[in-house]
Structure 1
Amino acid sequence: MSEKRKAVQTLSQPRKRVTLTKAQKYQLCLDYQKKPRLTQEQLAIQYGIKQNTVSDILKNKDKWLLLDLDSEESKKQRERPVQFPEVEEAMTLWVTNALEADLVINTDILREKAEFFARSFEVNNFKASNGWISNFKKRHNMKEYVKWGEAASAPLETLNEERQKLREIIKDYDLNDVFNCDETGLYWDLEPSKTLARGPLSGKKKSKKRVTILLTCNATGTEKLTPFFIHTSKNPRALKGLYLERLSQKIGYKMRLQNRKILLLVDNAPVHITNENTQLTNVTLHFLPPNTTSHLQPCDAGIINSFKAKYRKLLVKNRVEAYEISQQLNKGADSLNIHDAIVFCTNAWNAVTQETIYNCWKHTGILPLVNQEEVDESVNQLGEDNQVEREEIQFLIDQLPFDDHMDADEFIHVDDHLKSNEGLTDEEIISLVNLDKNELEVESDEEIPSVISKVQALNDLDDLVMFFKYSSLNNSINQSELNTLQKLRHEVLRSHITDLKQATLDSYFTSNPNNVII
């Protein structure tokens, strides 16, 4: 056989299928993160896979970058789909709620609940056999989970002793590297009306839609992590991400990139479970003693209160403006949606000052080298700040078109009793899984705004700048407000130019695959 024919036969042979392990997918995503100029085609060549496979992996890069490389799971190549997804989804939600409620879970209870959900979803061929129960436990590491907070509650008399222990732990860290995280429940669209009716303008019943928010910040107040939102009524899968293990891994990845080792203080809520085989890198978890978090946890010492006060102020300001517009147009006031609420939450968290956060940490008495005089001073400062916030909110509340409103203090604390992740009933779990399965939204009346292009945004901003410059409203707009609008336009333009440059680079390397930037 000629050499030429051999070559043709070699080229015609089917390409050997390459399946990456989870650890390799992690490394691919890390390569892409560290070298953003690498194209997908170059990564495909490097890992011996197709470009569309690279694209699929990068779409889930957040998932792969959270992978624990020391686990057996990282060596696996495939995730087999579960056989009964509705039962699996419902059981995952139920277990999460049971842990939150500190219920005892054993094999018999798991079997009973699984069979109940199978009947509810009319899964006729399901059987909660020992094998299925065992595999469910393995999939969720239930046998290896350590649940914190089972020890007897610490008496309040030991608070000073616990404070001293925390000081000893914290003193080994730079205060910039000491963090606290805590969840809080929020009635995100609740207006400050005491009665069920909001008044003649809306005619709606008082709403108590809630969202769970996880806030994380460091001891100096110089670093606030992006809030983590769980809108339980819309996506039950979001509840699975509540586990502290996942949060810690995400923070750990960020700190690994920054070459930092941090201490993360967490309360002992039952929902905070972690796999005992998980090796966290760059993050040391410390669980606060039971029954002491209201005294020792910085987020509970005023940080969450400050966040909620700022959120309420944004909400009431929005409602005042909505009612004024509704009167002018002679129509009902537009309602708040979850997307507005998330924007308000983000802005409220950004508005919590570094000074407030540091004062709250000092207020707990857990920081080393902080004397009692400084603690007392921080308490006084927090009190003054809270009073100013209350007065501003009260001023806005007084402008609302109803008389039966709460006062500012009532409104700020209206949902303090909320558990951050209130339990779901079996009926709610079934409803959520059904909605998730059919890809429906629970709140169908909430319109999700479509995202416009950057070019369209630039045109709209240009129109707004021209309008405020030359319209009759010019006298009511000060220069700083106009500068803010022009600054926004500049940011959109800069982002658009960056996109154009990146598109040009991608096009260049796609057409010239031998050109590699090291």
Structure 2
Amino acid sequence: MEGDCLACQAGVPTTRENYQYGMMLHFPNTGTGTTSYGSSHVSSDAIGCDSEHITLKMNRRHLRPRPIASSKQKMEKEKIRKTRRPFTAGFKFSVIKIAKSKGNRAAGREFGVDESIIRRWRANEELLQALPRNKKANRGKKCQHPAIEQDLVKWIRSLRVSGRDVTTMQIRMKALDLAKSREVNSFLASPNWCFRFMQRHKLSIPLMTTVGQKQPEDWEEKMVSFRGNVAKLVDNKSLSRSKVGNMDEVPLTFDASSYRATTESGDTSVKVPVTTGNENNRFTVVLSCLGDGTKLPPMVIFRRVTMPREKLPKGIVVQCNKKGWMTEELMLEWANRVWRGRPGACFSPRGALILDSMSAHTAPGVKDHFSKTLKTDLVIIPSGLTCKLQPLEGGVNHLFRTQIRTEWEKCMQEGIHSFTTSGKMCTATFADVCQWVLTAWGKVTRETIVNSFRKTVFSANIEVTESEDDVDSDDSGCDPEAPAMSLFHSESVESDFDGFSESDL
């Protein structure tokens, strides 16, 4: 059998080193050649070429037969081992899905991922679900005080439910209080911690989108009930669109500046636009309109005690009080000067007025005055549904505010400004503000008002009768009551009606 061994035929030298570390297996010479695993061989002079020779070599752990790999394959294999490939969370979920159905090994072969990595992904599946699908790693400092952060999140949610705002400084101060109660003295609540805390719990500080009330849970049922009540009132009283009105207050300021500004990317600070410093000097505009698109004269309430001495433009009602907001007394004043003077109210006073649930609107004295004196039924919108059932909120108020801001910007850019002795720009006059209101209210079209009524009150299943006066009426049309009411509504001081004297009687 000595001639059958290819190693013996090759004359490989026999040493102890070759025997222990050699990579040559002695197989019978079947004409297929030798299988080489290295440069060292074991000679037949020491071991022989029988079956015992092969058994001794096979028992060696490092001499087990392995497939021959070329140098190129070895380099690629080493390159794969050294290179760390990042995988997105979405890719990991795809691999986990296949691994659950076919197994870890099958998924590893299909996606070219090691089995141990798939096992680790499956063990951290819950953690991967909290990551974005395009995120490749879960880096960042881990939470060191999870109990404090959980209590802090509950505190933030409780404040937001009650409608209170929460700032980052409040978050840091509350976190220090919680850490002190738990005797955690190493906790600092730094700004960087606050940033990471908000990222971990998906918290942000966006701009305020609305200051309205929270909608009730049964808001859909209340909407259907409100529209049904309006439909019954319209049918029972045979009211046309010109007899159904809406009134709402719009709070404004003398400076209509914006909190956003266009700037170059990378600027760390954005300067506030140039204003007159009257961002907190507020006033209220009372808007009112009818269902056929008729606009009633606006009313402005300034926050002051005395009336302005300057000459004010015509077509607007001006009032003053300490708060600059609607009160019960001003509500009665608006009813007598604006609502009573609406077109057609002299000979046909019957009507309906839609109001929100403000205290000044629902006062007993106001209700009695509208029902007994003005023959008007008040329809109060349920609390929390103003944005859905108020016609002026359906699109008119937003357009009006936009036009007011446009007029303010024109005044700041094109107007001739005066300055105080300290160098501050003088604020706009009361006459200028009244003119802004008239211009902005004049740019609201009739179609916008009609569409707002149709969207909020006059739904598809409510039919409202339209008279010939509604079709042919115009804002500048003849008002039969206008000559009589002009004595009471005159804007000039000389022609104001002060009552009858004894000589007249």
User: TM-score, length-normalised on structure 2?
Assistant: 0.37
Give the structure with higher Rg (CA).
2
* Greater helix content: 1
